[in-house]
Structure 1
Amino acid sequence: MSLKSRQALAIVSACVLVVGVLAAAGITVWRDLSPYEREVLEPILNPRLGLLIMIGLVGAGMAAVMMKSFVQANLAAPALLADELGLIVGTDPSRRLKPTGSPELQRIAESVNLLADQRRSLQEDVELRVREARLSVEEERNRLAALMSELNQSVVVCNLDGRILLYNNRARLQFKALSDAPTAAGGGEIIGLGRSIYMVFERSLIVHALESIQERIRRESSQPVANFVTTTRAGQLLRVQMAPVLSAVEGEAESVVSGFVLMLDNITRNFEAETKRDQMLHTLTEGSRSSLANLRAAAEMLEYPDLDAELKDRFLKVVRDEVQGMSVRLDDTANAFADSLKTRWPLDEMLGADLIAAAQRRVEKKLGLPTKLEDVDPAVWVKVDSFSLLQAISYLASRLSDEFEVREVRFRLTSAGRLVHLDLIWSGQAMSTETVMAWELEPMTFAGESSPLTVRDVIARHDGEIWLQREKTQHRAFFRLLLPSAAPQDQVQASTYLKQDSRPEYYDFDLFKQTEVSRELDDRLLAELAFTVFDTETTGLNPSEGDEIIQIGATRIVNGKLLKSESFDQLVDPLRELPEASTKIHGITPEMLLGQPPMSKVLPAFHAFAEDTVLVAHNAAFDMRFLQLKEESSGIRFAQPVLDTLLLSAVIHPAQESHRLEAICERMGVNIMGRHTAIGDAIVTGEVFLRMIPLLAEMGIRTLGEARRASEKTYYARVKY
């Protein structure tokens, strides 16, 4: 029974008791009177019966007021005190009780505050000792996370259930490129902590590779890895190398496979290039075969001595045409094959200013030659083999210093359309063209380093040019190197990560300890489940009367952590007018919705993002009604369980008057960010939900089924939309 029901019952009971006592006393006194006394009193009392009833009602009212005050002091005040105490124990140890109510309750509140101070002091001491003990482990873990996030190769680590427990930024961007969802959700529906890798790869393919690895481990192979090539749903071709994650088991002499590492390369373009070369070679061989047959036949006919002049001219023409055709095919093949050879050498894209800075450090360190910058365009990107190019620059600087006594070199980098000019500038005497050519063709040897390559080889490797140019007015000269430019690399959008986060959390090693996935969801502990916390902004408050969703925001909770970097944030074109009154609430204008995808495209992406998770929302009945009304037209049904933080708040704090999101945040010490934006409300709801889980556990509500059943018993569960 709720607190309000108990309060009402106590007040009504007090009134009934007072009225009953007065009535019983009157009846008892009347029956104790003699007949004569009754005859005397009856004419006196009958006219005053209403006054007697009024006195009884006044007495009942006074009893009700007194009982309400008593209930407030002895029921409501202790209940509020219990709620506040629960917040101190479960969510906010720094919170303190306000001494209110009776003197006894005030003394209890003061004693609780004193105990809370002592508890907080002990907790801080324990936390300090734990931090000191785990410092080295955390440093190693952070080093690994930083290393993984910066790798150029896509890396994904999974447990044996195929659940992703680590991935780096390169993998995130690659899976985004494989996604066919709207941009805001691109890749988020197929890669994320706790998601299944089988959304990308066939289960049988992974199982086969694992069996192959385990067989290699049994044979004590030095490299127990498996390689395979597969296609994705988007038609991309991936080359995958799988390596095992070995874990020691107590009592076992050998380590066991507890997961696997996938290293991915998108080889679609390479495959297309190889296919093109195969087709080119096939065209060359097949075309040459027929031409050679024609040449052979013409040559045999020309051997006849009595061949007339007309036939001889005809066969000679066949020979000329076939030879010319073969020559053209050979030239085309040679040109195409030469281009493919150039592309085979790995060239890296880098910022031109970084290349110049590296050249300055190398020249000054290796040669002791001072350097300066003349003019370096900070926006220029180059595509180079930086190691061999820096060798060539250092070699030229070394020859200038040794043979022409140059005491300083300067660098200049400018853009020239699809090419980049890199100039090595010096002042001093002029040199001949023959000297320059000799330097270009000699193997590079300088400062204790030697290379079989020449400067000409390095420039050819870049498909570039080099020449000497003089500036007569300034009495100086420079080597100009023409290098291929590169498009500026895309920078990761700041909105991808939440502010104040130095790096998104793309790893969760605790997922190795995940329980069996076959357990029923209702029997699973809340702390074990994966959740999608979401919120919507709409054109209005009446989904059944035509209002539509204009924004969906969502984030994920995996293994008890809010993954703010794995989010879904998409505006939606409602295909109807947006009322001005709703814009005042959420700030979304009609102009912001122009060009946005309609719900028919956004809903499948959000469904994929939320797959295999429990949905969480504040006042979830409202948001779910919008989604349910789209089931018939879209064929998409959100069948997973749903938890509502509004209902859970009523379970945890039944004595509180308000269960609005702002009020819950204030009680639980959650900072409100981005209120009335879908993604902002989703993140705040996620923070609140995480703080509710330990409070529910203290009430004996630990599993999903228990949380759902407790929510259904609250008053707010009756609200319909």
Structure 2
Amino acid sequence: AQRRIEKKLGLPTKLEDVDPEVWVKVDSFSLLQAISYLASRLSDEFEVREVRFRLTAAGRLVHLDLIWSGQAMSTETVMSWELEPMKIEDESSPLTVRDVIDRHDGEMWLEREKVRHRAFFRILLPAATPQEQAEAETYLRGESRPEYYDFDLFAWSEKSHALDDRLLSELSYTVFDTETTGLNPSQGDEIIQVGATRILNGKLLRAESFEQLVDPERPLAPESAKIHGITSEMLRGQPTIDKVLPAFHAFAADTVLIAHNAAFDMRFLQLKEEQTGLRFDHPVIDTLLLSAVVHPNQESHRLEAIAERLGLTIVGRHTALGDAIVTAEVFLKLIPLLAEKGIRTLRDAREAAEKTYYARVKY
């Protein structure tokens, strides 16, 4: 939060009484958006020149305070800030601060420190249990990648809408995954492996697969190598992306694309349109969003967590083909669960996914 506010807003920040033993269970991206948005409103409308953070335990909850010196606003102003869609300079989101707080089953209010002529927003958040702390530490070591929402999965082409009324159980799918040099496609990270498998008439066809390493023509980020185990030596002499994507595009022809956290992978493909002359204008289904449709109250929609909930055994994770196969198995398990909710066609699935919390979060 400090880095984001200082870089994006040019607003100095300080830490004040942050308990290093306290862990919180949050959707970090949306919470950072909310905190940055509040800081931007303070800076723009009340000429606040510095904000401070305080993080303290409160039993099974945690107090996160955003503190500033100077006047406090009215309750009506606080309410309007909570309920307006968040906008920070050139970034906008359909989410409100209240959406983010409600997502965490939390609360937010304004308090004043009259003696010190300060005020603060107090955000009440759930504390993580020791088990969840351990899981978070594993996650931070690089064994999974964060969720990205910087590609519009629902801006389908007219051709794609032709399949809207087809049953999910009857469509042909290409289930795919990519491994990459890093996590920032818009900042020069590249695809280093594409893996895909096929679903036809409700059956996984393992024999129909696509798997190819890609020379990224740039160094690998150390943190990405910890995830996928692919080394620079393995990529030396492999074809470049302008050779690989035409082959993958042909493999995926006339099918619906499926990926887990699809916005991440689709953003990489989108950024290669000009270089390759190819547009992946297929309908796209995201198993992360469909999991949120089927299990809206679950905390995690990471592929590992969904597979465990559905009783699937994970083999070969963090190779592109291995992840694609797990994603395909997850999707096949989700089809009957979606049908129980009246979601049977491609249109039904798209419209239900678009209403989920995760689909509304934007970079």
Q: TM-score, normalization: structure 2?
A: 0.56
Paired position in structure 1 for 2:222: 580
Distance (whole Å) between structure 2 residues aligned to residue 561 and residue 643 of structure 1: 17
Question: What code does the residue aligned with 2:171 have?
Answer: L
Identity across aligned pairs (percent)?
75
Paired position in structure 2 for 1:596: 238
Cα distance, 1:677 vs structure 2 = 0.6
Cα distance, 1:579 vs structure 2 = 2.1
Selected match of 1:608 from 232, 245, 250: 250
Paired position in structure 2 for 1:553: 195
Matched, 1:521 2:172: no
Q: Which is richer in strand?
A: 2
Q: Which is richer in helix?
A: 1
Q: 1:615 to 1:671 in 2, by over 3 A?
A: same
Paired position in structure 1 for 2:84: none
Paired position in structure 2 for 1:563: 205
Paired position in structure 2 for 1:687: 329
Question: What code does the residue aligned with 1:552 have?
Answer: V
Paired position in structure 1 for 2:286: 644
Find the residue that maps to 1:680 and give its secondary structure: helix
Question: What code does the residue aligned with 2:248 have?
Answer: F
Cα distance, 1:581 vs structure 2 = 2.1
Q: For residues 590-635 of structure 1, what are the alpha-carbon distances to aligned partners after superposition, in whole Å with 9 as ceiling and x for unaligned?
A: 0000110000000000000000000000000000000000011211
Q: For residues 359-396 of structure 1, what are the alpha-carbon distances to aligned partners after superposition, in whole Å with 9 as ceiling and x for unaligned?
A: xxxxxxxxxxxxxxxxxxxxxxxxxxxxxxxxxxxxxx
**What is the correspondence of 1:37-52 to structure 2 with a 5 Å cutoff?**
none
Number of matched pairs: 218
Q: 1:593 to 1:694 in 2, by over 3 A?
A: same
Cα distance, 1:7 vs structure 2 = 9.8
Cα distance, 1:718 vs structure 2 = 2.9
Paired position in structure 1 for 2:259: 617
Distance (whole Å) between structure 1 residues aligned to residue 242 and residue 270 of structure 2: 13
Greater Rg, structure 1 or structure 2?
Answer: 1
Find the residue that maps to 2:316 and give its secondary structure: coil
Selected match of 2:315 from 653, 662, 673: 673
Matched, 1:707 2:349: yes
Distance (whole Å) between structure 2 residues aligned to residue 581 and residue 520 of structure 1: 41
Q: 1:693 to 1:591 in 2, by over 3 A?
A: same
Find the residue that maps to 1:672 and give its secondary structure: coil
Q: For residues 482-515 of structure 1, what are the alpha-carbon distances to aligned partners after superposition, in whole Å with 9 as ceiling and x for unaligned?
A: xxxxxxxxxxxxxxxxxxxxxxxxxxxxxxxxxx
Paired position in structure 2 for 1:698: 340
Distance (whole Å) between structure 2 residues aligned to residue 632 and residue 8 of structure 1: 44
Q: For residues 420-477 of structure 1, what are the alpha-carbon distances to aligned partners after superposition, in whole Å with 9 as ceiling and x for unaligned?
A: xxxxxxxxxxxxxxxxxxxxxxxxxxxxxxxxxxxxxxxxxxxxxxxxxxxxxxxxxx
| Structure 1: gaps spanning 5 or more residues | 13-517
**Aligned partners of 1:618 and 1:661 also within 8 Å:** yes
Distance (whole Å) between structure 2 residues aligned to residue 676 and residue 561 of structure 1: 23
Q: TM-score, normalization: structure 1?
A: 0.29
Distance (whole Å) between structure 2 residues aligned to residue 617 and residue 673 of structure 1: 17
Q: 1:546 to 1:519 in 2, by over 3 A?
A: closer
Runs of 4+ in 1 over 2 A off after TM superposition: 4-9, 718-721
Question: What code does the residue aligned with 2:352 have?
Answer: A
**Aligned partners of 1:621 and 1:720 also within 8 Å:** no
Find the residue that maps to 2:179 and give its secondary structure: strand
Question: What code does the residue aligned with 2:189 have?
Answer: D
Matched, 1:716 2:358: yes
Q: For residues 553-596 of structure 1, what are the alpha-carbon distances to aligned partners after superposition, in whole Å with 9 as ceiling and x for unaligned?
A: 00000010000110000000001111222111100000000110
Question: What code does the residue aligned with 1:692 have?
Answer: L
Q: For residues 623-650 of structure 1, what are the alpha-carbon distances to aligned partners after superposition, in whole Å with 9 as ceiling and x for unaligned?
A: 0000000011211001110000000011
Cα distance, 1:8 vs structure 2 = 5.9
Distance (whole Å) between structure 2 residues aligned to residue 533 and residue 7 of structure 1: 31
Matched, 1:539 2:193: no
Distance (whole Å) between structure 2 residues aligned to residue 8 and residue 688 of structure 1: 28
Distance (whole Å) between structure 1 residues aligned to residue 282 and residue 343 of structure 2: 20
Q: 1:571 to 1:7 in 2, by over 3 A?
A: closer
Paired position in structure 2 for 1:530: 172
Find the residue that maps to 2:164 and give its secondary structure: helix
Distance (whole Å) between structure 1 residues aligned to residue 241 and residue 251 of structure 2: 15
**Aligned partners of 1:536 and 1:550 also within 8 Å:** yes
Distance (whole Å) between structure 2 residues aligned to residue 669 and residue 6 of structure 1: 26
**Aligned partners of 1:571 and 1:593 also within 8 Å:** yes
Structure with greater contact order relative to length (CA < 8 Å, sep ≥ 6): 2
Paired position in structure 2 for 1:656: 298
| Structure 2: gaps spanning 5 or more residues | 1-98, 109-159
